[in-house]
Chains A and B, each alone.
Chain A
Amino acid sequence: MNQPERRQVLRQHGTAASASSGVAIGQVQRLSSLMPHVPHHHISNSMVELELDRFRHARQAAITRAQKELESLARMEDSNPALLIKAHLMLLNDPNFINAIIVHIRDGLHNCGWSIQLGVSSMLGKFNTTEDTYLHEMRNQIMHAGHRITSHLTETDTSPLDSNHDTIILADDIPLPEVVRYWQRGAAGLITFQGGANSHMIVMSRGIGIPALAGIEQTTLHHARDGDTIILDAERQRWILNPNPEDIAHYQRFTSAMQQANAELQNFANQASVTLDGVVVELLCNVEFPQELEQVLRSGVNGIGLLRTEFLFLTADHQPDEEEQFQFYRPFVNAMGDRPTTIRLLDIGADKSLAFDLLKNNNYSGENPALGMRGIRLLLHAPELLRAQIRALLRLSEHGSIKILVPMITHRDQMEQVRTIIRNEAMDLGIAADTVPLGAMIEVPAAAIIADELAEVSDFFSIGSNDLIQYTLAADRCDENVFGCRRDIAAHPAILQLISMAAASAHAADIPISLCGELAADPAWIKPLIQAGITTFSMHCNKILPQRRHIRHLMVGNQNSSAATSG
């Protein structure tokens, strides 16, 4: 945390490709993109042994984890990922590697995390500077070995950021676990140069409710220095560096108005979601990580409609096993009590890449991932992965009310296969499988079209509107050109027609149906969707209260006839 240099300050402003929500005014803190951010402090001579001990423990934990990863790859001993893990393990045990780091603790009197950075930098510095791809790869492995140790230090590296002012983190990119860590350490906002409309950093920031911007043109914010004042306006996707007093006054008024609006919205937390003409609507929330639960509970929901399970997998540097998954899902179920938690089986493959890219290295990713191995297709090809998740969920079912949702269903037999696996694992665990409802995600047009058939093998439906739009209209959700007119795209009559078909099949079979995705959170869509026969919606928890207010002022009109005729 360097002191800012004396220099001319220039007011500058610009936009971002994507934003979470909220506004923050604070001081810039830039991060190096090379290494995860770790705090730096000097230690006294009497602290050296303690700090060396921290290093020893973190290194041992890193070794144990790498060995576990290697065991999970036992069948592919000579595959590239296994060899790289072996290389990491050897580095972690290599006295030269260890000494290059601990010299900075013992002689430099730096804290452990910082010493790892210094040690890794000095090792990298010893390579010839000639740019060669294979040198680059080796540098990466040394860096990764360092990361492995650092990642086990983080539990203790949660010291608050500078408490004298609000800190806004500015970085090339912020990995997902770091986003949570900065939030926990009290960062007021996050800005990354990288990232487009679908930046995961933004999705995560939205989830935990921290103002964030992604996708900034480098040149404009390039010369921001530590300590510069910046306004981060995630509501209007813009920023102002070195704002003038008018800017600050304007934003202070804006934030206080926002706080007041939020306080008024909070009145809707304990009210029923009923339209003026008496249609009872159920509002559920989408969640991804436990940090969101506080906000979820404040918004008064009927349950969790979509618990995405990718977070744990995307942030882990190894494949989470049954027990880790069980421990990860448990707080959600505990927080919901009697209210149901719908957990979606792992949906990776399309626009999400695994940090631990075991699956990728197994050649599971195709040329066109959105049409390739994702969702249930991938899970049925990786039965170990599916079984571990199902076992964790079955064990969870003994602690609360859970439902299992299967992503990317296109065929009836996929549901049947999953049900067989659930039954077998339940028998093995001695748990009653019949108590856990199994639902099909309706997100591919084919599933909506054969919804009547799927209803015979499903206990409930959940329409994934984002993917349903993408697959129906052949419109890439990651393509910013198409994304820009998304709202118009959803208005295509095919969308509502497919939704109505699924709803009609669900009603005929007397199974519940809900809808998630961006349409659920869009006030303009609530009425047509209720008319199409959907009365349960799952959305991000910060959309629940505005949506409930909207519903309480809504006249739906003729509900049933519309549902019967459309589709």
Chain B
Amino acid sequence: MTNDADKPNQHQKITLTICNKLGLHARASAKLAACTSAFDCDISLDKEGVAINGKSILGIMMLAAAKGTELTITVDGHDAAAALNAIQQLVENRFGEDE
């Protein structure tokens, strides 16, 4: 989770809506945690003022984010833009689920 010193830090924030029918259930949480863990930058997810470490599957599961939940994703680090992009794609693709 350390930032690469050679590259400029990026700090970005975005709000996404969980749109798959089942919400952030265990398998979707696993996919999201696998995605976030692939990046060096710090990632936090915020639901209604409760922020968790976006790389912790337990944290993601504890958010209990059902369909329609708004999550604010904050990324901080050299690969922040790429991380945000990947997270956005995963959420908007409904974690690869049909509905």
Residues of A near any B CB (own CB < 8 A): 78, 80, 83-84, 86-87, 90-91, 94-97, 100, 123, 126-128, 132, 134-135, 137-138, 140-142
Within B51-94, which residues are at the interface with A (CB < 8 Å)? 53, 56-59, 61-62, 64, 66
Instruction: Tell which of A83, A134, A141 touches B31, judged by Cβ atoms closer than 8 Å.
Output: A83
**With A83-B30, A83-B31, A86-B30 known to touch, is A91 a contact of B22 (CB < 8 Å)?**
no
> Which residue on chain B has the smallest CB distance to residue A86?
B30
- B27 and A83: CB pair below 8 A? yes
In the complex, chain A residues whose CB is within 8 Å of the CB of B30: 83-84, 86-87, 90
Tell me, in angstroms, the Cα distance from A90 to B53 when the chains sit together. Answer: 14
In the complex, chain A residues whose CB is within 8 Å of the CB of B44: none
- A134 and B23: CB pair below 8 A? yes
In the complex, chain B residues whose CB is within 8 Å of the CB of A95: 56
- B25 and A94: CB pair below 8 A? no
A-B contacts, 27 of them at CB < 8 A, read A80-B27, A83-B27, A83-B30, A84-B26, A84-B30, A87-B26, A87-B29, A87-B57, A90-B33, A90-B34, A91-B57, A91-B58, A94-B56, A94-B58, A95-B56, A97-B57, A97-B58, A123-B58, A127-B64, A132-B64, A132-B66, A134-B22, A134-B23, A137-B25, A138-B29, A138-B64, A141-B26
- A135 and B27: CB pair below 8 A? no
In the complex, chain A residues whose CB is within 8 Å of the CB of B61: 138, 141-142
In the complex, chain B residues whose CB is within 8 Å of the CB of A126: 62
Tell me, in angstroms, the Cα distance from A212 to B50 when the chains sit together. Answer: 49
Chain B interface SS verdict (over half): helix
In the complex, chain A residues whose CB is within 8 Å of the CB of B59: 94, 96
> Which residue on chain B has the smallest CB distance to residue A123?
B58
Tell me, in angstroms, the Cα distance from A367 to B3 when the chains sit together. Answer: 55
* Whole-angstrom distance between the Cβ of B89 and the nearest chain A Cβ: 16
Tell me, in angstroms, the Cα distance from A123 to B57 when the chains sit together. Answer: 12
**Most chain A Cβ neighbours within 10 Å, of B30, B61, B66:** B61
In the complex, chain B residues whose CB is within 8 Å of the CB of A78: 96
* Whole-angstrom distance between the Cβ of A263 and the nearest chain B Cβ: 55
Tell me, in angstroms, the Cα distance from A426 to B34 when the chains sit together. Answer: 43
> Which residue on chain B has the smallest CB distance to residue A141?
B26
Tell me, in angstroms, the Cα distance from A547 to B53 when the chains sit together. Answer: 66
- B57 and A94: CB pair below 8 A? yes
Tell me, in angstroms, the Cα distance from A154 to B25 when the chains sit together. Answer: 30
Contact-residue bracket for chain B: 20 to 34
In the complex, chain B residues whose CB is within 8 Å of the CB of A138: 25-26, 29, 61, 64
In the complex, chain A residues whose CB is within 8 Å of the CB of B58: 91, 94, 96-97, 100, 123, 142
In the complex, chain B residues whose CB is within 8 Å of the CB of A83: 26-27, 30-31
- B23 and A90: CB pair below 8 A? no
Residues of B near any A CB (own CB < 8 A): 22-23, 25-27, 29-31, 33-34, 53, 56-59, 61-62, 64, 66, 96
Instruction: Tell which of A80, A86, A128 touches B34, judged by Cβ atoms closer than 8 Å.
Output: A86
In the complex, chain B residues whose CB is within 8 Å of the CB of A123: 58, 62
> Which residue on chain B has the smallest CB distance to residue A93?
B57
Tell me, in angstroms, the Cα distance from A284 to B32 when the chains sit together. Answer: 56
> Which residue on chain B has the smallest CB distance to residue A135?
B64
Tell me, in angstroms, the Cα distance from A536 to B62 when the chains sit together. Answer: 60
Tell me, in angstroms, the Cα distance from A135 to B29 when the chains sit together. Answer: 12
Tell me, in angstroms, the Cα distance from A123 to B30 when the chains sit together. Answer: 17
In the complex, chain A residues whose CB is within 8 Å of the CB of B27: 80, 83-84, 87
Instruction: Tell which of A96, A100, A140 touches B53, judged by Cβ atoms closer than 8 Å.
Output: A96
- B62 and A127: CB pair below 8 A? yes
* Whole-angstrom distance between the Cβ of A146 and the nearest chain B Cβ: 12
* Whole-angstrom distance between the Cβ of A88 and the nearest chain B Cβ: 9
> Which residue on chain B has the smallest CB distance to residue A126?
B62
In the complex, chain B residues whose CB is within 8 Å of the CB of A142: 58, 61
> Which residue on chain A has the smallest CB distance to residue B65?
A134
**Most chain B Cβ neighbours within 10 Å, of A95, A128, A138:** A138
Instruction: Tell which of B53, B56, B57, B66 touches A134, judged by Cβ atoms closer than 8 Å.
Output: B66
* Whole-angstrom distance between the Cβ of A484 and the nearest chain B Cβ: 42
In the complex, chain B residues whose CB is within 8 Å of the CB of A137: 25-26
**Most chain B Cβ neighbours within 10 Å, of A90, A100, A127, A141:** A90
Tell me, in angstroms, the Cα distance from A123 to B27 when the chains sit together. Answer: 18
List 19 other contacts, CB 8 Å, given A97-B58, A138-B29: A80-B27, A83-B31, A84-B27, A86-B30, A86-B34, A87-B57, A91-B57, A91-B58, A94-B57, A94-B58, A97-B57, A123-B58, A127-B62, A127-B64, A128-B64, A137-B26, A138-B64, A140-B26, A141-B26
In the complex, chain B residues whose CB is within 8 Å of the CB of A100: 58
- A96 and B26: CB pair below 8 A? no
Tell me, in angstroms, the Cα distance from A80 to B95 when the chains sit together. Answer: 13
> Which residue on chain A has the smallest CB distance to residue B21?
A134
Tell me, in angstroms, the Cα distance from A138 to B60 when the chains sit together. Answer: 10
Tell me, in angstroms, the Cα distance from A80 to B30 when the chains sit together. Answer: 11
* Whole-angstrom distance between the Cβ of B26 and the nearest chain A Cβ: 4
In the complex, chain B residues whose CB is within 8 Å of the CB of A97: 56-58
> Which residue on chain B has the smallest CB distance to residue A80?
B27
**Most chain B Cβ neighbours within 10 Å, of A78, A134, A140:** A134
> Which residue on chain A has the smallest CB distance to residue B95?
A83
* Whole-angstrom distance between the Cβ of B9 and the nearest chain A Cβ: 23
